[in-house]
Amino acid sequence: MKRIICSILSFILIAGLTSCAPRETTVEKLVGVNFDEVDAIRFFNGDTGKEYLCSDSEQVKAFLDQFKGVKVRLQDDQSPRMGGGINAHLYKDGKEIGVFSYTKGRLVNDRAFYDLIPAFSREDYNKWYDKINELGQLAPGGIE
């Protein structure tokens, strides 16, 4: 009986400690990249199949500055979903150092879904989405 009670208390303690684990962090920490070191971004539009390599320092900074100070919170619902949106592959000196996806109202990293806090406006999202479609080329194997 003592063993059962100890087992139950241990389970409750472990469950309590894991639920206290931080579920909120910054985008930079989540991706594991100092955004100030990024010198190029290969954007990929998951909806249209177009990709755009951007090495213009002002555009790289403008895109990544949107995420400075923005926090992400792990969503409770982690069920599989269709891909899409903007995939950002981050480069430093020609080497990929990180990647994340940014879809209306959420961020995806390593197949986990996060809410953006504060959430981005649809207008900001559409600005980058349209730029990739306008300047990008169809990715190899893409269908238009």
Number of domains in the chain: 1
Domain for residue 50, yes or no? yes
> What is the edge-to-edge ordering of all strands in the sheet holding 112-117?
24-26, 71-74, 112-117, 106-109, 95-103, 86-92, 40-45, 50-54, 137-138
| Number of neighbours of residue 135 by Cβ within 10 angstroms | 14
Q: Which H, E and C letters describe the chain, residue by residue?
A: CHHHHHHHHHHHHHHHHHHCCCCEEEHHHHHCCCHHHCCEEEEEECCCCEEEEECCHHHHHHHHHCCCCCEEEECCCCCCCCCCCEEEEEEECCEEEEEEEEECCEEEECCEEEEEECCCCHHHHHHHHHHHHHHCEECCCCCC
> pLDDT over 90 for what percent of the chain?
33
Q: Is residue 15 part of a domain?
A: no
How much is the pLDDT for 16? 47
Per-residue burial over 103-114, b if 16 or more Cβ lie within 10 Å, else e, is: beebbbbeeebb
CATH of the domain at 115: 2.60.40
Contact 51, 139 (CB under 8 A): yes
Q: Is residue 56 part of a domain?
A: yes
- Is 113 a domain residue? yes
| 104: in domain | yes
Per-residue pLDDT of the chain (144 residues; tens, 9 = 90+): 666 654 565 555 454 444 444 578 999 999 999 999 999 999 998 888 889 999 999 999 999 998 887 899 999 888 887 767 899 999 999 999 999 998 877 888 888 889 988 877 788 888 888 888 888 887 665 555
Q: Does any domain span residue 18?
A: no
**Residue 105 phi, psi dihedral angles, 5° rounding:** 85, -5
Expressed as residue numbers, the domain containing 72 is 23-138
Q: Give the type of residue at 117.
A: I
